[in-house]
C-alpha cells in the first residue's frame, strides 16, 4: 500500500505535557552530534548545471516558496557533481567573480576549514586539485574533490614530501569518517551542517521501503532580538542550547543539523507525523526552559516523505509548513 505524502505544522503548546513516544527506539541521544551519518557517493548519468548552482549559491536571493528547482539551486553543495577538472574550474571561476577571498570560501564550502589565509587556501586548494588527479589516475575512476581533500588532510608527511608533494594513501573507513565529521561539523553547535544532512537524507530515501520517514524544519523565534540586545556571543549560546535540548529529548538515531543561521532540520526515522510532532513539542518545551530568561522559542514544520520523493522536495515542504506555523504563532501572539 502506497503511503501518501503528508505535511503538518507543529501546533501551539498543549495545556498538558505531551505523552512521550512509545517507539522502542526512544532512547536518549548520547552526544551533541546526535548521529554518525553514513557517506555514499554516486555518479549520475545526467549531471545538473554546475554554473547555475554555484551562481545561485553565491548571490543573495529571496527564499522561494513554490519553486522546487530554484530552492534546490540556492541550497545545494556547489561541489556535489564536480567530478572533472572542467567543472571544478567552473566552480572556482564563478565564486572568484563574487568573492574577495574565493579560495578561503572554497575551502570553507569544501571541508569546513576557515582558519587559512587566502594565500594558504589558494596553495592548498591547488594541491587538492592535483591530488585528485593523482588519485583518479591510480584508481582508474573519477575521485570527488572532497575525497581528495580529506585524503590529503589525513596524509602523514614523509621525507619524500619535503617538496610538499602528496602521494595517494589508503584511508581506513573509520579514519575517513572521523575526518569527515570534523570537517563538516558546524563550528558553533558541533551539529552536522546542511550538506551532511542532505547526503544522509538522500541515502535514507533510497533505502526506505516500508519505513516511515519525517523531516522537520525548525526556525528560531526571537533569535534576532537576542543578537541585537545581548550580542552575538549570547546568540551563539542560544544555538548551542538547542543542540543541548535535543540530546535529552530526541531519540537515538534522530538527526538534528544546522542548516544555516538560525535554521535547523531534523530527520526522524520510523516516525509518523504524529510521533514527529510529539518529538518536536518535547524539543521545544525543553529549549524554552533552557532559554527562559531570553524568551526564545522556535517554529517548526513537518513533512512525511513520499515514496520516490526527492530529498530537496521533502525539506522544502517542511520549510513551507514551518512558515505557515510561524505566521500562525505570530498572529496568536499579536491577537
Domain stop point among 167, 184, 201: 184
Whether the full predicted model's pTM is greater than 0.85, yes or no, is no
pLDDT at 31: 38
Q: Would 38 be classed as within a structural domain? A: no
Residue 246 shares a structural domain with residue 145: no
Is the pLDDT confidence value at 102 over 80?
yes
Q: Are 16 and 93 part of one and the same domain? A: no
- CATH code for the domain of 334: 3.30.70.270
Residue-wise pLDDT for 151-173, tens only, equals: 888 775 544 444 444 444 444 55
**Do residues 210 and 134 both lie within one domain?**
no
Parallel, antiparallel, or unpaired: how do β-strands 297-304 and 263-269 relate?
unpaired
Both 97 and 240 in a single domain? Answer: no
Assess whether 198 and 278 both reside in one domain.
yes
**Total domains in the fold of the chain:** 2
Could you tell me which of 51, 100, 116 has the C-alpha nearest to residue 78?
A: 51
Q: Which grid coordinates are listed for 194? A: 546542511
Q: What's the pLDDT at 51?
A: 46
Question: 201 with 300, same domain?
Answer: yes
The last residue of one of the domains, among 153, 184, 215, is: 184
Residue 91 lies in a domain: yes
> Quick check: is 69 in a domain?
yes
Q: Which domain holds residue 333?
A: 1-33+187-335
**Among residues 263, 277, 255, which one has the least CA distance to residue 32?**
255
Q: How far apart are CA 40 and CA 56, in angstroms?
A: 25
**Residue 47 covered by a domain:** yes
- Average pLDDT value for residue range 200-218: 86
Identify the top-confidence range among 142-146, 154-158, 170-174, 218-222.
Answer: 218-222
Q: How many whole angstroms separate alpha carbon 288 and alpha carbon 265?
A: 18
Q: Which is more confidently placed, 66 or 73?
A: 66
Q: What is the pLDDT of residues 115-125, one digit of tens each?
A: 788 999 999 99
My answer on whether 27 and 128 are in the same domain is: no
Residues 193, 296 within the same domain: yes
Which three cell numbers, joined as nine digits, stand for 50? 554546475
Residues 172 and 218 in one domain: no
Minimal CA–CA distance to 275: which of 243, 253, 251, 259?
251
Instruction: Annotate 12-37 with b (16+ C-beta within 10 A) or e (fewer).
Output: eeeeeeeeebebeebeebeebbbbeb
How does pLDDT run across 47-65, given as a tens digit for each residue? 344 444 444 444 443 444 4
> What are the cell numbers at 19?
505523552
Given 123, 154, 184, which residue is the final one in a domain?
A: 184
Give me the sheet containing 213-221, strands edge to edge.
Answer: 6-9, 297-304, 213-221, 263-269, 255-260
Mean pLDDT value across residues 304-313: 92
Query: pLDDT tens for residues 10-40?
Result: 544 444 444 444 443 333 343 333 433 333 3
| CA 82 – CA 96 distance, rounded (Å) | 16
Instruction: Please indicate, yes or no, whether residues 200 and 280 belong to a single structural domain of this protein.
Output: yes
Q: Are residues 203 and 216 in the same domain?
A: yes
Amino acid at each position: 500500500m502506497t503511503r501518501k505524502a503528508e505535511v503538518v505544522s507543529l501546533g501551539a503548546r498543549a495545556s498538558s505535557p505531551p505523552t512521550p513516544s512509545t517507539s522502542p527506539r526512544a532512547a536518549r541521544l548520547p552526544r551533541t552530534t546526535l548521529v554518525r551519518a553514513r557517506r555514499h557517493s554516486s555518479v549520475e548519468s545526467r549531471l545538473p548545471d554546475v554554473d547555475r548552482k554555484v551562481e545561485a549559491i553565491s548571490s543573495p536571493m529571496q527564499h522561494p516558496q513554490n519553486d522546487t528547482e530554484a530552492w534546490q539551486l540556492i541550497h545545494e553543495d556547489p561541489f556535489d557533481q564536480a567530478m572533472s577538472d572542467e567543472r571544478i574550474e567552473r566552480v572556482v571561476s564563478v565564486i572568484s567573480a563574487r568573492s574577495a577571498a574565493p579560495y578561503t570560501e572554497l575551502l570553507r564550502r569544501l571541508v569546513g576549514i576557515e582558519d587559512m589565509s587566502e594565500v594558504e587556501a589558494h596553495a592548498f586548494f591547488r594541491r587538492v586539485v592535483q591530488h585528485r588527479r593523482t588519485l583518479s589516475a591510480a584508481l582508474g575512476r573519477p575521485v570527488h574533490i572532497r575525497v581528495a581533500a580529506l585524503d590529503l588532510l589525513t596524509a602523514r608527511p614523509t621525507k619524500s614530501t619535503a617538496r610538499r608533494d602528496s602521494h595517494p594513501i589508503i584511508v581506513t573507513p573509520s579514519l575517513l569518517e572521523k575526518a569527515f565529521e570534523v570537517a563538516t561539523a558546524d563550528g558553533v553547535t558541533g551539529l552536522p551542517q546542511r550538506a551532511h544532512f542532505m547526503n544522509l537524507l538522500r541515502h535514507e530515501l533510497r533505502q526506505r521501503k516500508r519505513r516511515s520517514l519525517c523531516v522537520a524544519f525548525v526556525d528560531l523565534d526571537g533569535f534576532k532580538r537576542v543578537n541585537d540586545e545581548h550580542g552575538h556571543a549570547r546568540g551563539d549560546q542560544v544555538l548551542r542550547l538547542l543542540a543541548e535540548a535535543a540530546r535529552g529529548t530526541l531519540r537515538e538515531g534522530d538527526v538534528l543539523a544546522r542548516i544555516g543561521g538560525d535554521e535547523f532540520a531534523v530527520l526522524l526515522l520510523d516516525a509518523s507525523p504524529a510521533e514527529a510532532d510529539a518529538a518536536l513539542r518535547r524539543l521545544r518545551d525543553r529549549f524554552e526552559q533552557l532559554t527562559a530568561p531570553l524568551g526564545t522559542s522556535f517554529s517548526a514544520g513537518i513533512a512525511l516523505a513520499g515514496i520516490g520523493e526527492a530529498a530537496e522536495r521533502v525539506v522544502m515542504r517542511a520549510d513551507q509548513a514551518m512558515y505557515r506555523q510561524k505566521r500562525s504563532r505570530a498572529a496568536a501572539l499579536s491577537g
